[in-house]
Chain A
Amino acid sequence: SAVISQKPSRDICQRGTSLTIQCQVDSQVTMMFWYRQQPGQSLTLIATANQGSEATYESGFVIDKFPISRPNLTFSTLTVSNMSPEDSSIYLCSAQGQGGSYEQYFGPGTRLTVT
């Protein structure tokens, strides 16, 4: 398994600003993922972040709005840009297990409120 930490745990931001969320894994992993969980909803995949390549975004999510960095095998960031109240959500990162395992391990999430 992997232990994942996220910073910040929560934030309240003004509309029009940007927030960068950091995700740290305690071991080297190939694949990391970013999800959005809107209030009372399930998780929606934003993008897949592989080290050394551009992130792959899901339908409805674009790089200009959610730029992602993956500088090494233990770290990734997600930026929520030009925020609006509709971006208020929990943002979670996850890492896929090693050795061909498909299970993902999740961070505690970042609760974002945009006013």
Chain B
Amino acid sequence: AQSVTQPDIHITVSEGASLELRCNYSYGATPYLFWYVQSPGQGLQLLLKYFSGDTLVQGIKGFEAEFKRSQSSFNLRKPSVHWSDAAEYFCAVVPSGTYKYIFGTGTRLKVLA
């Protein structure tokens, strides 16, 4: 079945440490790919997106993500995490030929001071 998987439900990192959040999808053609962040009590904010071209995309707040076709992955990274990055992160996919988002289950990030 078509799906979006975020294997890590919770991740805890220390402030200043690097971060990688995983996202895998199972669709035949390369979909459009997105990462969103949801801070407590807030809506979703778009961090970055991939449609085509360069497989390493830069986003806001110092985040980047790399699309790897061979692994059907779109992992989010940040070299140095700040306490304000503590939030829920969602990977979303728009399968080719559609316009609807399919969301992953989310990864809750906790940052230790």
- Find chain B residues with CB under 8 A from A4 CB: 43
Q: Are A96 and B99 in contact (CB under 8 A)?
A: yes
**Residue B83 is within 8 A (CB to CB) of chain A in the complex:** no
Which stretch from A41-49, A61-69, A73-81 is at the chain B interface? Answer: A41-49
Q: Say which size band chain A's interface belongs to.
A: 20 to 34
Q: Is A34 an interface residue (CB 8 A)?
A: no
Which residues of chain A from 63 to 107 have a CB within 8 Å of any chain B CB?
92, 94, 96, 102-107
B46 and A103 contact, CB distance less than 8 A: yes
* Residue A31 CB within 8 A of the other chain: yes
B46→A108 contact, CB < 8 A: no
Contact check, A107 vs B43: say whether CB atoms are below 8 A apart.
yes
For the complex, what is the distance from the CA of A4 to the CA of B101, rounded to whole Å?
Answer: 18
In the complex where A42-B106, A43-B90 touch, is A106 in contact with B43 (Cβ < 8 A)? yes
How many inter-chain residue pairs (CB < 8 Å) link A and B? 47
Collect the chain A residues with CB atoms within 8 Å of residue B100's CB.
33, 45, 48
Pick the contact of A42 from B32, B42, B46, B104 — CB < 8 Å? B104
Please give the residue numbers on chain B whose beta carbons come within 8 Å of chain A beta carbons, in ascending order: 32, 34, 36, 41-46, 49, 51, 90, 94, 99-101, 103-106
Chain A interface (Cβ within 8 Å of chain B)?
Answer: 1, 4, 31, 33, 41-45, 48, 92, 94, 96, 102-109, 111
